[in-house]
Amino acid sequence: MCGAIGVLSRCWDETRGAYRLLGHERVTAASVLAPHIACTQERLRAHSRVLCIQDTTELDYTSKKDRMKGLGPLNDETRWGLYLHPTLAVTPDRVPLGLLDLHSWAREPGSLG
């Protein structure tokens, strides 16, 4: 069994249940992250200064292009995937407080010119 869900699950029933949950139409990245972001915002209140660090990461799904929806070209039309742009809150002493935002997107096919 491959992937994080298979590794974290203790049995096949847990794995199937996780995939059923994540495949449900009302389960979105925003709905899964909302409680975490709310807790992060609460932790921010205990600090007078917080750094909000952002970065963009490429998620390369080229080998799964034909099996996944919503992908777009990365740096050229031969590599396909998504871009992920998280905002992480940390203290000046480098203590991570949690995620504040997560934006993902895919380029439109043919947009690289």
* In a domain? residue 61: yes
Task: Report how many domains make up the chain.
Answer: 1
* In a domain? residue 9: no
* In a domain? residue 63: yes
Using only C-alpha atoms, the chain has a radius of gyration, in whole angstroms, of: 17
The CA distance from 101 to 37, in Å, is: 7
Q: Is residue 61 packed enough to be buried (19+ CB in 10 Å), middle (13-18) or exposed (0-12)?
A: middle
The pLDDT tens digits of the residues spanning 93-111 come to: 999 999 999 999 999 988 8
* In a domain? residue 39: yes
Q: What integer best gives the mean pLDDT of the chain? A: 91
* In a domain? residue 81: yes
* In a domain? residue 20: no
* In a domain? residue 100: yes
The pLDDT tens digits of the residues spanning 68-91 come to: 889 999 998 999 999 999 999 999
* In a domain? residue 86: yes
The domain in which residue 58 lies consists of 33-105
